[in-house]
Structure 1
Amino acid sequence: MPLEFGLWRVDDKPVRVATRPMPLESRLEELIEADPEILGRPLLLIGRQVQTDHGKVVDLLGMDAEGGLHVLELKRDRTPREVVAQLLDYGSWVQELTNEQVREIYATYARSRDLAEELDEAFALRFGGNVPEALNSTHALTVVASEIDAATERIITYLASGYGVPVNVLFFRYFEDEGHSYLARTWLLDDAEDVAPSPGKKGRGKQEPWNGTDWYVSFGDESGHRNWEDALRYGFVSAGGGDWFCRTLRSLPVGARVFTHIPKAGYVGVGMVSGEPKPFEEAALTVDGESRRMADLPLKGSYRASDGTADEEGGEDRREWIVPVDWEQAVPRERALWRTGFFANQNSACKLRARFTIEEVSRHFGIG
């Protein structure tokens, strides 16, 4: 049984606040949309009255901080069999949604509500991080009700506890006191496993597609060991100081397009990798049409590891690795571009799938 709420006003002597039937249970949908915090768990609302492929309409669709989807369905006046069957039908639909379809659902919702933020921005504002590369890897199903009957409780408990179906009931109580209205909430199953994998077609389409060309590069210049002015002038990106830092950079193929980001500053350049990675001591760059050893150039950064070379005994390679780049467009550090929702992580290089970042940085730098 769900926890039963009682509410008392204690300005003077305790006075119990009367529980009332919810005037319009459908108003819960409006209240949740206005403030999803009512649900008691962080969610970003991405759809309302969402049309499924089966001709049905999902009341509310939300997303959690891990990119999992949450179907919220109001019980209204339907029978237990109707509401549970509907919710399970929605579960069969939602588990098949691809990354692209999830983004389309949010875009439709944003347009209908005149929201300026794209999904990546809205996600970052809500959760303080980047949209996961894989969306809809899990899903949860929730009946939203002001009251439930014994049959609904039995069915939900049977499915969740006996068979691990990610279904639960969010149960509201409505109170009135001297012209004021209050809501209290609880879950039917506090310890239920409330998310389940959304494999769909063996996981295909959950991850945002990669175009096979674009890479993210982090150019950390805060230590002074490397300097963006050098990279901007001579055309390169670099990383080093340990295997973890240089391994991903060394995977950049010739012809890759790199979106270069300076941590705590923003995106400063987009260019094409024009040569194989080399340690600083062996690297050569093209300057005024002539190939020159990088070590012979006038540089602001040192680009030398503390021990100068790779560990001869098979330890970590602490050398600085250089990758030549022909800049399509690049700017000084003080003109770096940053927007809420842009992709950034601690890898020196990785495949860039974040469409919002690619499109906005390309647009800003005038790149097709």
Structure 2
Amino acid sequence: MPIEHGIWRIDKGLEKIDVHSLDKEQRLEEILDNDISIAAPNWMIIGRQVYTEYGSYIDLLAIDRDGNIVVLELKRNQTPREVVAQLLDYASWVKNLTDDEIASIFDTYINKFHPERNGISLDDAFMSYFNVNSMPDELNETHQLVIVASSLDNSTERILNYLSEGHNVPINAIFFRVFKDEDREYLSRMWFIEPTLSPPSPSGNGGDKEPWNGEFYASFGGKRSWEDARRIGYICGGGGSWYSNSLNLLEIGKRVWVNAPGHGYVGVGIVAGPVTKLTEFEIEDKGTKRLITEDDLIDSYIFSYSRNDEEKAEYLVKVDWIKTLSLDEAIKEKGLFGNQNTVCKPVAKKWQHTVERLKKRFDINK
């Protein structure tokens, strides 16, 4: 049944906040263009009202940290059949975009909608936005399709579930609702299919689906110090539940391969503990255990928001390293698996290939 959510004010008793529609969906398009992180913090807008060779316009086009394309279509007044068919039609066009075409779309977007940034390249914008040293070697290996709406009817929800769960089509929906309290307006967001803990689509970034091989993938990036992680023994995620929740996928005793976006694979180890908030994480010190402190770290950046903000706090998982490399020694090859989630359980052929290659490069026999 259609998803419904509401907001109640509780500081002066219990009072439900009225829900409204946006004055114009154009306004939501502008909001998302100005700050797409309210939809997903791992997306960057690269196009708006993008003309396709089929004579239609994509509302918003984004790229994720792995260089994959995200198509966002505002529902507007379309019927369920129309909006889903429109997205699938866009997908048939987007899947063939080359690196040069993606860069050209970005240039057109900047010139038309953000002339104050005129002259910035896609590479520079990407590296600055995601805080990485380079763009992925391969762009648009896969794509995501997202309907943006205030709600969906039963028919559309059934179609999305059928395509996503039954046929591995990377399609989802984000619901935005506007609530008004006197002269204040609030915007809420809810995903139709929770994106954080979902494995990557088997049809993208790796080919056909295969059984999970028991090997975990982890991404270690941002401003975090890899030298601290390899010296103390942990992987981590934070800055929002989008980044930290997927750590809960990890299973103690299982092997995890760590990729540093922009560098390559830098470590492999055995998961040795549960997900723990940074300020409650224990380390060994002269034969005894104690809580980790800022003085234990080369870079204490991850402490900056962990004390007073449960949502944005950094969470750590203890890892017994089998082998680690410095960022300068990172293993990077064309065809290796990459994913934007902090942790995932890949089920793509590319992951099988990646693990076999990494075993050889890390000199691991089993």
Paired with 1:7 and 1:348, the residues of 2 have a C-alpha distance of 47
Deviations, residues 173-221 of structure 1 (Å, cap 9, x unaligned): 2111111111111111126566542799xxxxxxxxxxxxxxxxxxxxx
TM-score after normalising by structure 2: 0.53
Give the match for residue 24 of structure 2: 24
Unaligned runs of 5+ in 1: 201-344, 352-368
Paired with 2:161 and 2:187, the residues of 1 have a C-alpha distance of 24
Whether the aligned pair in 1 keeps the contact of 2:2 and 2:154 (CA below 8 Å) is no
Structure (1 or 2) with the larger CA radius of gyration: 1
Quick check: 1:163 aligned with 2:167? Answer: yes
Whether the aligned pair in 2 keeps the contact of 1:44 and 1:126 (CA below 8 Å) is yes
Paired with 1:194 and 1:144, the residues of 2 have a C-alpha distance of 20
Paired with 1:91 and 1:125, the residues of 2 have a C-alpha distance of 27
Paired with 2:11 and 2:42, the residues of 1 have a C-alpha distance of 32
Paired with 1:71 and 1:87, the residues of 2 have a C-alpha distance of 8
State the AA in 2 paired with 1:119: L
Whether the aligned pair in 1 keeps the contact of 2:2 and 2:151 (CA below 8 Å) is no
Q: Give the one of 123, 126, 129 matched to 2:126.
A: 123
Quick check: 1:105 aligned with 2:105? Answer: yes
Unaligned runs of 5+ in 2: 208-326, 334-366
Paired with 2:179 and 2:81, the residues of 1 have a C-alpha distance of 28
Paired with 1:8 and 1:349, the residues of 2 have a C-alpha distance of 51
State the AA in 2 paired with 1:153: E
Paired with 2:130 and 2:7, the residues of 1 have a C-alpha distance of 32
SS at match of 1:147: coil
SS at match of 1:136: coil
SS at match of 1:111: helix
Give the match for residue 208 of structure 1: none
**Percent identity among equivalent residues?**
43
State the AA in 1 paired with 2:111: R
Deviations, residues 53-103 of structure 1 (Å, cap 9, x unaligned): 211110000000000100000110011111110100001111101111111
SS at match of 1:26: helix
1:99–1:177 Cα change, 3 Å: same
1:127–1:348 Cα change, 3 Å: closer
State the AA in 2 paired with 1:128: N
Give the match for residue 243 of structure 1: none
Quick check: 1:197 aligned with 2:204? Answer: yes
Paired with 1:103 and 1:11, the residues of 2 have a C-alpha distance of 49
Give the match for residue 292 of structure 2: none
Whether the aligned pair in 1 keeps the contact of 2:50 and 2:60 (CA below 8 Å) is yes
Give 1:16 shift. Answer: 1.4
Whether the aligned pair in 2 keeps the contact of 1:18 and 1:177 (CA below 8 Å) is yes
Deviations, residues 6-65 of structure 1 (Å, cap 9, x unaligned): 212222222211112333233211110011111033211000000112111100000000
Give the match for residue 10 of structure 1: 10
Give the match for residue 39 of structure 2: 39
Paired with 1:146 and 1:348, the residues of 2 have a C-alpha distance of 44
1:193–1:89 Cα change, 3 Å: farther
Give 1:2 shift. Answer: 6.2
SS at match of 1:185: strand
Whether the aligned pair in 1 keeps the contact of 2:3 and 2:151 (CA below 8 Å) is no
Paired with 2:63 and 2:179, the residues of 1 have a C-alpha distance of 29
Give the match for residue 223 of structure 2: none
Paired with 1:124 and 1:6, the residues of 2 have a C-alpha distance of 37
Paired with 1:82 and 1:193, the residues of 2 have a C-alpha distance of 28
Aligned residues between the structures: 207
SS at match of 1:54: coil
Paired with 1:175 and 1:134, the residues of 2 have a C-alpha distance of 41
